[in-house]
Structure 1
Protein backbone atom coordinates (compact mmCIF):
# COMPACT_ATOMS: atom_id res chain seq x y z
CA UNK A 1 0.00 0.00 0.00
CA UNK A 2 1.24 3.44 -0.91
CA UNK A 3 0.76 6.04 1.83
CA UNK A 4 0.60 9.70 0.90
CA UNK A 5 1.39 11.99 3.84
CA UNK A 6 -0.86 14.74 2.48
CA UNK A 7 -3.16 15.63 -0.37
CA UNK A 8 -0.35 17.77 -1.81
CA UNK A 9 1.93 14.75 -1.95
CA UNK A 10 -0.79 12.80 -3.76
CA UNK A 11 -1.35 15.67 -6.21
CA UNK A 12 2.33 15.50 -7.11
CA UNK A 13 1.72 11.92 -8.34
CA UNK A 14 -0.60 12.96 -11.20
CA UNK A 15 0.30 11.07 -14.33
CA UNK A 16 1.68 8.03 -12.51
CA UNK A 17 0.49 4.60 -11.53
CA UNK A 18 -0.17 4.72 -7.79
CA UNK A 19 -0.05 0.98 -7.34
CA UNK A 20 -1.67 -2.42 -7.48
CA UNK A 21 -3.78 -3.97 -4.73
CA UNK A 22 -4.11 -7.44 -3.29
CA UNK A 23 -6.22 -10.17 -4.81
CA UNK A 24 -9.81 -10.29 -3.52
CA UNK A 25 -12.08 -13.30 -4.03
CA UNK A 26 -15.47 -12.89 -5.69
CA UNK A 27 -17.34 -15.91 -4.35
CA UNK A 28 -20.85 -17.09 -5.24
CA UNK A 29 -22.12 -16.01 -1.83
CA UNK A 30 -21.14 -12.39 -2.55
CA UNK A 31 -22.80 -12.59 -5.97
CA UNK A 32 -25.99 -13.97 -4.40
CA UNK A 33 -26.03 -11.20 -1.79
CA UNK A 34 -25.63 -8.59 -4.53
CA UNK A 35 -28.49 -10.18 -6.49
CA UNK A 36 -30.65 -10.01 -3.36
CA UNK A 37 -29.74 -6.37 -2.72
CA UNK A 38 -30.43 -5.26 -6.29
CA UNK A 39 -33.19 -7.61 -7.36
CA UNK A 40 -31.10 -8.79 -10.33
CA UNK A 41 -31.47 -12.58 -10.11
CA UNK A 42 -30.61 -13.37 -13.75
CA UNK A 43 -29.54 -17.01 -14.03
CA UNK A 44 -26.04 -16.16 -15.29
CA UNK A 45 -25.43 -14.77 -11.80
CA UNK A 46 -27.41 -17.00 -9.46
CA UNK A 47 -27.98 -20.46 -11.01
CA UNK A 48 -24.66 -22.38 -11.03
CA UNK A 49 -26.15 -25.45 -12.73
CA UNK A 50 -27.74 -23.55 -15.60
CA UNK A 51 -24.78 -21.15 -15.88
CA UNK A 52 -22.35 -24.07 -16.25
CA UNK A 53 -23.99 -24.79 -19.60
CA UNK A 54 -24.22 -21.09 -20.49
CA UNK A 55 -21.94 -18.79 -22.44
CA UNK A 56 -19.45 -18.23 -19.58
CA UNK A 57 -19.21 -21.80 -18.26
CA UNK A 58 -20.05 -20.69 -14.71
CA UNK A 59 -21.97 -18.02 -12.86
CA UNK A 60 -20.51 -14.55 -13.19
CA UNK A 61 -20.53 -11.47 -11.02
CA UNK A 62 -22.80 -8.62 -12.00
CA UNK A 63 -20.87 -5.85 -13.72
CA UNK A 64 -22.20 -3.44 -11.12
CA UNK A 65 -20.96 -5.76 -8.35
CA UNK A 66 -17.48 -5.54 -9.83
CA UNK A 67 -17.85 -1.76 -10.00
CA UNK A 68 -19.08 -1.62 -6.40
CA UNK A 69 -15.82 -3.24 -5.28
CA UNK A 70 -13.79 -0.18 -6.37
CA UNK A 71 -13.71 1.46 -2.92
CA UNK A 72 -12.53 -1.67 -1.10
CA UNK A 73 -10.03 -2.49 -3.84
CA UNK A 74 -8.69 1.09 -3.81
CA UNK A 75 -8.20 0.96 -0.02
CA UNK A 76 -5.67 -1.80 -0.65
CA UNK A 77 -3.72 0.37 -3.09
CA UNK A 78 -3.30 3.71 -1.35
CA UNK A 79 -4.13 5.87 1.63
CA UNK A 80 -4.01 9.64 2.05
CA UNK A 81 -3.16 10.97 5.49
CA UNK A 82 -4.21 14.40 6.75
CA UNK A 83 -7.67 14.15 5.15
CA UNK A 84 -10.91 14.81 7.02
CA UNK A 85 -13.08 12.74 4.67
CA UNK A 86 -13.43 11.43 1.16
CA UNK A 87 -16.52 10.89 -0.99
CA UNK A 88 -17.29 9.25 -4.31
CA UNK A 89 -18.20 11.96 -6.80
CA UNK A 90 -18.99 9.81 -9.81
CA UNK A 91 -17.65 8.07 -12.86
CA UNK A 92 -16.73 9.46 -16.24
CA UNK A 93 -16.50 6.19 -18.13
CA UNK A 94 -16.95 2.52 -17.26
CA UNK A 95 -16.45 -0.61 -19.33
CA UNK A 96 -16.67 -4.33 -18.48
CA UNK A 97 -14.35 -6.06 -21.00
CA UNK A 98 -14.44 -9.50 -19.36
CA UNK A 99 -16.78 -11.32 -16.96
CA UNK A 100 -15.73 -12.27 -13.43
CA UNK A 101 -16.55 -15.94 -12.88
CA UNK A 102 -17.64 -16.97 -9.39
CA UNK A 103 -14.58 -17.99 -7.39
CA UNK A 104 -12.23 -15.71 -9.32
CA UNK A 105 -9.92 -13.21 -7.69
CA UNK A 106 -9.68 -9.57 -8.72
CA UNK A 107 -7.45 -6.64 -7.84
CA UNK A 108 -7.20 -2.96 -8.73
CA UNK A 109 -4.44 -1.23 -10.66
CA UNK A 110 -4.78 2.52 -10.16
CA UNK A 111 -3.29 5.51 -11.97
CA UNK A 112 -3.90 9.09 -10.86
CA UNK A 113 -4.85 11.14 -13.92
CA UNK A 114 -5.91 14.44 -12.30
CA UNK A 115 -5.98 16.25 -8.96
CA UNK A 116 -7.92 19.50 -9.19
CA UNK A 117 -8.41 21.98 -6.37
CA UNK A 118 -11.95 22.41 -5.08
CA UNK A 119 -13.11 24.44 -2.08
CA UNK A 120 -11.75 22.63 0.96
CA UNK A 121 -9.86 19.91 -0.86
CA UNK A 122 -9.11 18.11 -4.09
CA UNK A 123 -11.10 16.37 -6.79
CA UNK A 124 -9.23 13.25 -7.86
CA UNK A 125 -9.63 11.39 -11.12
CA UNK A 126 -8.22 7.89 -11.23
CA UNK A 127 -8.09 5.26 -13.91
CA UNK A 128 -8.98 2.02 -12.15
CA UNK A 129 -8.36 -1.26 -13.93
CA UNK A 130 -9.89 -4.27 -12.18
CA UNK A 131 -7.74 -7.22 -13.16
CA UNK A 132 -8.79 -10.88 -13.00
CA UNK A 133 -6.16 -13.32 -11.81
CA UNK A 134 -4.97 -15.41 -14.77
CA UNK A 135 -6.74 -13.29 -17.40
CA UNK A 136 -5.21 -10.93 -19.92
CA UNK A 137 -8.44 -8.92 -20.21
CA UNK A 138 -9.59 -6.81 -17.27
CA UNK A 139 -12.98 -7.18 -15.64
CA UNK A 140 -13.58 -3.45 -15.45
CA UNK A 141 -11.92 -0.24 -16.55
CA UNK A 142 -13.35 2.85 -14.89
CA UNK A 143 -12.48 6.50 -14.71
CA UNK A 144 -13.46 7.24 -11.12
CA UNK A 145 -13.90 10.70 -9.64
CA UNK A 146 -13.69 11.30 -5.89
CA UNK A 147 -13.28 14.26 -3.60
CA UNK A 148 -11.14 14.55 -0.52
CA UNK A 149 -11.52 17.27 2.08
CA UNK A 150 -8.88 18.50 4.50
Structure 2
Protein backbone atom coordinates (compact mmCIF):
# COMPACT_ATOMS: atom_id res chain seq x y z
CA UNK A 1 0.00 0.00 0.00
CA UNK A 2 1.24 3.47 -0.88
CA UNK A 3 1.73 5.87 2.02
CA UNK A 4 -1.17 8.20 2.67
CA UNK A 5 -0.97 11.86 1.77
CA UNK A 6 -0.87 13.66 5.09
CA UNK A 7 -2.41 17.10 5.11
CA UNK A 8 -1.36 19.09 8.17
CA UNK A 9 -3.67 22.08 8.49
CA UNK A 10 -5.68 23.89 5.85
CA UNK A 11 -2.57 25.64 4.51
CA UNK A 12 -1.27 22.29 3.23
CA UNK A 13 -4.15 22.03 0.76
CA UNK A 14 -2.91 25.07 -1.19
CA UNK A 15 0.10 23.14 -2.51
CA UNK A 16 -2.34 20.84 -4.38
CA UNK A 17 -4.47 23.57 -5.97
CA UNK A 18 -4.78 22.88 -9.70
CA UNK A 19 -3.03 19.53 -9.29
CA UNK A 20 -3.82 15.86 -8.91
CA UNK A 21 -4.10 14.79 -5.29
CA UNK A 22 -3.99 11.04 -5.98
CA UNK A 23 -4.90 8.21 -8.32
CA UNK A 24 -6.29 5.24 -6.46
CA UNK A 25 -5.34 1.64 -6.72
CA UNK A 26 -7.81 -0.41 -8.81
CA UNK A 27 -10.89 -1.49 -6.88
CA UNK A 28 -12.47 -4.74 -8.05
CA UNK A 29 -16.26 -4.45 -8.23
CA UNK A 30 -18.09 -7.67 -7.46
CA UNK A 31 -21.73 -8.55 -8.02
CA UNK A 32 -22.04 -8.79 -4.23
CA UNK A 33 -20.81 -5.20 -3.76
CA UNK A 34 -23.35 -3.96 -6.30
CA UNK A 35 -26.16 -5.99 -4.78
CA UNK A 36 -25.34 -4.94 -1.20
CA UNK A 37 -25.41 -1.29 -2.30
CA UNK A 38 -28.71 -1.82 -4.14
CA UNK A 39 -30.31 -3.44 -1.09
CA UNK A 40 -29.17 -0.54 1.09
CA UNK A 41 -30.94 2.00 -1.13
CA UNK A 42 -33.88 -0.25 -2.10
CA UNK A 43 -32.94 -0.24 -5.77
CA UNK A 44 -34.10 -3.73 -6.69
CA UNK A 45 -34.08 -3.66 -10.53
CA UNK A 46 -33.36 -6.96 -12.27
CA UNK A 47 -30.17 -5.68 -13.96
CA UNK A 48 -28.58 -5.36 -10.51
CA UNK A 49 -29.51 -8.90 -9.39
CA UNK A 50 -30.41 -11.33 -12.20
CA UNK A 51 -27.00 -12.48 -13.46
CA UNK A 52 -28.31 -14.64 -16.32
CA UNK A 53 -30.68 -12.00 -17.66
CA UNK A 54 -28.04 -9.26 -17.29
CA UNK A 55 -25.48 -11.43 -19.09
CA UNK A 56 -27.85 -11.72 -22.07
CA UNK A 57 -28.59 -7.97 -22.02
CA UNK A 58 -26.57 -5.29 -23.87
CA UNK A 59 -24.73 -4.70 -20.56
CA UNK A 60 -23.29 -8.23 -20.56
CA UNK A 61 -23.23 -8.36 -16.75
CA UNK A 62 -24.90 -7.01 -13.63
CA UNK A 63 -24.50 -3.23 -13.51
CA UNK A 64 -24.19 -0.83 -10.60
CA UNK A 65 -26.60 2.06 -10.08
CA UNK A 66 -25.33 5.44 -11.21
CA UNK A 67 -24.74 6.70 -7.68
CA UNK A 68 -22.60 3.68 -6.77
CA UNK A 69 -19.30 5.39 -7.61
CA UNK A 70 -20.38 8.57 -5.82
CA UNK A 71 -20.96 6.50 -2.69
CA UNK A 72 -17.37 5.18 -2.83
CA UNK A 73 -15.69 8.61 -2.86
CA UNK A 74 -15.55 9.08 0.90
CA UNK A 75 -13.91 5.75 1.70
CA UNK A 76 -11.44 5.88 -1.20
CA UNK A 77 -10.49 9.47 -0.33
CA UNK A 78 -9.69 8.47 3.25
CA UNK A 79 -7.81 5.39 2.05
CA UNK A 80 -5.39 7.86 0.43
CA UNK A 81 -5.53 11.04 2.54
CA UNK A 82 -5.18 11.72 6.23
CA UNK A 83 -6.25 15.07 7.68
CA UNK A 84 -4.53 16.65 10.68
CA UNK A 85 -5.38 19.83 12.62
CA UNK A 86 -8.51 20.64 10.65
CA UNK A 87 -12.19 19.88 10.64
CA UNK A 88 -14.19 19.34 7.47
CA UNK A 89 -17.78 19.49 6.26
CA UNK A 90 -19.03 18.18 2.91
CA UNK A 91 -21.03 20.99 1.26
CA UNK A 92 -22.33 19.26 -1.86
CA UNK A 93 -21.72 18.79 -5.53
CA UNK A 94 -22.12 21.13 -8.48
CA UNK A 95 -21.73 18.43 -11.13
CA UNK A 96 -21.99 14.65 -11.42
CA UNK A 97 -22.21 12.77 -14.71
CA UNK A 98 -22.69 9.08 -15.44
CA UNK A 99 -21.10 8.26 -18.79
CA UNK A 100 -21.19 4.45 -18.87
CA UNK A 101 -22.15 1.62 -16.54
CA UNK A 102 -19.92 -0.03 -14.00
CA UNK A 103 -20.29 -3.78 -14.38
CA UNK A 104 -19.65 -6.64 -12.00
CA UNK A 105 -16.10 -7.77 -12.67
CA UNK A 106 -14.78 -4.29 -13.54
CA UNK A 107 -11.85 -2.82 -11.65
CA UNK A 108 -12.26 0.92 -11.30
CA UNK A 109 -9.72 3.66 -10.58
CA UNK A 110 -10.36 7.08 -9.06
CA UNK A 111 -8.39 10.14 -10.15
CA UNK A 112 -8.82 12.93 -7.62
CA UNK A 113 -7.62 16.53 -7.93
CA UNK A 114 -7.98 19.91 -6.26
CA UNK A 115 -9.61 22.21 -8.81
CA UNK A 116 -9.62 25.41 -6.79
CA UNK A 117 -9.61 26.75 -3.26
CA UNK A 118 -11.68 29.68 -2.07
CA UNK A 119 -10.87 31.70 1.04
CA UNK A 120 -13.85 32.14 3.33
CA UNK A 121 -14.37 34.43 6.29
CA UNK A 122 -13.47 31.40 8.37
CA UNK A 123 -11.50 28.59 6.73
CA UNK A 124 -11.53 27.58 3.08
CA UNK A 125 -13.76 25.83 0.54
CA UNK A 126 -11.99 23.23 -1.59
CA UNK A 127 -13.48 22.27 -4.97
CA UNK A 128 -12.43 18.74 -5.84
CA UNK A 129 -12.70 17.12 -9.29
CA UNK A 130 -12.91 13.37 -9.64
CA UNK A 131 -13.03 10.84 -12.46
CA UNK A 132 -13.72 7.13 -12.19
CA UNK A 133 -12.50 4.92 -15.05
CA UNK A 134 -12.39 1.20 -15.63
CA UNK A 135 -8.79 0.09 -15.30
CA UNK A 136 -7.09 0.12 -18.71
CA UNK A 137 -9.79 2.25 -20.37
CA UNK A 138 -9.70 5.96 -21.18
CA UNK A 139 -13.42 6.83 -21.24
CA UNK A 140 -14.64 7.82 -17.78
CA UNK A 141 -17.40 5.89 -16.08
CA UNK A 142 -18.45 8.82 -13.91
CA UNK A 143 -17.01 12.24 -13.23
CA UNK A 144 -17.87 15.28 -11.26
CA UNK A 145 -16.91 17.62 -8.50
CA UNK A 146 -17.80 18.40 -4.94
CA UNK A 147 -16.98 21.00 -2.35
CA UNK A 148 -15.64 20.52 1.16
CA UNK A 149 -15.32 23.29 3.74
CA UNK A 150 -12.29 23.15 6.07
CA UNK A 151 -11.49 25.01 9.28
CA UNK A 152 -8.41 24.87 11.49
CA UNK A 153 -8.79 23.10 14.82
TM exceeds 0.5?
Answer: yes
Pairs aligned (count): 149
Q: Which moved more, 1:110-119 or 1:124-133?
A: 110-119
Residue of structure 1 aligned with 2:108, choices 97, 106, 109: 106
Alpha-carbon distance between aligned partners in 2 of 1:132 and 1:77, rounded to the nearest angstrom: 19
- State the partner residue of 2:54: 51
* 1:110-147 Cα shifts (integer Å, max 9, x gaps): 11011122354221101101121122212110111112
Q: Give the deviation of 1:53 after TM superposition.
A: 0.7
- Is 1:141 aligned to 2:143, yes or no? yes
Q: Give the deviation of 1:101 after TM superposition.
A: 0.8
Provide TM-score, normalisation by structure 1.
0.90
- State the partner residue of 2:22: 19
Alpha-carbon distance between aligned partners in 2 of 1:75 and 1:43, rounded to the nearest angstrom: 32
SS in 2 for 1:107: strand
After TM superposition, which residue ranges in structure 1, 4 or more long, deviate above 6 angstroms?
none
Alpha-carbon distance between aligned partners in 2 of 1:27 and 1:86, rounded to the nearest angstrom: 31
Q: Is the 8 A contact 1:44 1:59 kept in 2?
A: yes
Residue of structure 2 aligned with 1:33, choices 18, 36, 59: 36
Q: Give the deviation of 1:109 after TM superposition.
A: 0.6
- Is 1:72 aligned to 2:40, yes or no? no
SS in 2 for 1:114: strand
Alpha-carbon distance between aligned partners in 2 of 1:59 and 1:25, rounded to the nearest angstrom: 14
Q: Give the deviation of 1:71 after TM superposition.
A: 0.9
Q: Which structure 1 segments of 5+ residues have no match?
A: none
* 1:28-55 Cα shifts (integer Å, max 9, x gaps): 1111111111111111211111000111
SS in 2 for 1:135: coil
SS in 1 for 2:21: strand
Over the residues paired in the alignment, what is the CA RMSD in angstroms? 1.6
Q: Give the deviation of 1:5 after TM superposition.
A: 2.3
